[in-house]
Amino acid sequence: MVYGNILGFSADGGPQLLSEVARVVARGGVLILDVSSPVAAVTEFLTAGARRRFLLRILRDPEYYLFGVHTKLSDRAHQPYAPERLAFWEFDFYTVDGAESALATAGFRPIDRMAVGAVGAFRDRLTTIARRERTTWKNLLELEEVIGRRPGVLETGHGFVMAAVRSGRGRPTRSRA
């Protein structure tokens, strides 16, 4: 089991991390991995802004706070370290397809996935703050639309859990330890 979003915290080292995990998991062994999604990035920024009472400033200029990085919905989005922009660490966010691809490259066959951590702990506060100005309300709705937070669509919340079987394929790596 690999919990704690270490794939995301490994940032550009994600492929190397998965290769090392594949090295220690026996063929036929099962890996359980939690992964942080782009939805988590946007949610974290919005809730941090609501807690620190500067959500209105964030919604006035979403691009300054790197929202474009997280809403591109490519297989993997890279958040650079930029504390002045509310990005306190370097991080990679994966879509489900991106995580499945990364696992397959490392020699795992994905067998199951499950969404976790429903979004919305600060939902009431977010909407109250965003409604103060028409442009900020519009920005919040656009951000939520881009990341898939709309009625009737499964939102992955802060991330998802992947289950995968070690297949024996993948890039052979040697431990640096």
From first to last of its 177 residues, the chain has per-residue pLDDT tens of 887 788 888 988 999 999 999 999 999 999 999 888 777 677 777 777 777 778 888 888 888 877 777 666 678 878 788 888 777 788 888 888 889 999 999 999 999 887 654 444 456 666 777 777 888 877 777 776 666 554 444 444 567 788 999 986 555 444 444
Residue 102 lies in a domain: yes
Q: Which pTM value belongs to this model? A: 0.67
Domains held by the chain: number: 1
| Domain enclosing residue 128, as ranges | 6-166
Q: Establish if 171 belongs to a structural domain.
A: no
Whether 1 is in a domain gets the answer no
Count CB neighbours of 124 within 10 A: 10
Tell whether 175 is covered by a domain.
no
